[in-house]
């Protein structure tokens, strides 16, 4: 998928089954690569067991062209080291928003600590920068021992 010739994302799957009448492609073993807006630099990757890519509007499912629904071991890795895990996630092509109501865990690792955020639902952009979440709790894991070992 491109935006004015610049890559927006690349969607790959081990298996793809076209359902032309339904308006989607059923996918297995999915690998999505996202790119920073108007650049060719990767912003992250997403892996999932299965999903649907909508190649036209499907009003009965309330999905539009270029939307994607993913299920099963969904893991998103960003270029800055953030990891997001959730059982299912949805991508809205028109807005570039990623969302889930199936619970999530987000980890951000730095040299000193790991910040862990868990919650019930979220909405974010494809770079995981601007978050809205529900039922979120934050915890920290110190890397103090790891830092001392390096000295």
Question: Does the global pTM surpass 0.85?
Answer: no
Separation CA 3–CA 10 (nearest Å): 12
d(CA 41, CA 60) in angstroms, rounded, equals 36
pLDDT for the residue 112? 84
pLDDT digits (tens, 9 = 90+) for 40-83: 678 789 999 999 999 999 999 999 999 999 999 999 998 888 89
Of the two residues 146 and 126, the one the predictor is more confident about is 126
Question: What per-residue confidence (pLDDT) applies to 148?
Answer: 38
Q: What is the pLDDT of residues 106-143, one digit of tens each?
A: 998 887 889 999 999 999 886 677 889 888 899 998 87
| Residue 149 pLDDT grade (very low, low, confident, very high; cuts 50, 70, 90) | very low
Distance CA 9, CA 68 (A): 12
At residue 130, the pLDDT reads 85
Q: How far is CA 143 from CA 84, 110, 111, 150, in A?
A: 20, 9, 7, 11
Q: Give the residue carrying structure tokens 């491109």.
A: 2
Of residues 21 and 80, more confidence is placed in 21
Point out which residues pair with 119 in neighbouring strands: 104
C-beta of residue 69 within 8 angstroms of C-beta of residue 49:
no
Retrieve residue 51's tokens: 């999903």
Residue 104 and residue 122 in contact, taking contact as beta carbons nearer than 8 Å = yes
Written out in words, the top-level CATH class of the domain with range 2-150 is mainly beta
Spans of all domains in the chain: 2-150
């Amino acid at each position: 998928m491109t935006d004015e010739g610049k890559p927006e994302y690349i969607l790959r799957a081990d298996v793809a089954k076209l359902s032309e009448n339904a308006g989607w492609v059923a996918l297995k073993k999915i690998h999505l690569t996202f790119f920073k807006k108007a650049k060719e630099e990767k912003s992250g990757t997403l892996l999932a067991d299965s999903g649907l890519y909508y190649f036209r509007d499907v009003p009965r499912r309330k999905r539009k062209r270029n939307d994607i629904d993913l299920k099963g071991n969904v893991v998103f890795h960003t270029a800055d080291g953030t990891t997001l895990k959730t059982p299912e996630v949805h991508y809205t092509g028109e807005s570039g928003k990623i969302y889930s109501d199936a619970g999530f865990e987000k980890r951000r690792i730095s040299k000193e600590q790991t910040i862990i955020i868990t919650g019930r639902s979220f909405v974010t952009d494809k770079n995981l920068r601007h978050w809205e979440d529900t039922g979120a709790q934050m915890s920290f894991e110190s890397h103090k021992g790891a830092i001392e070992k390096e000295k």
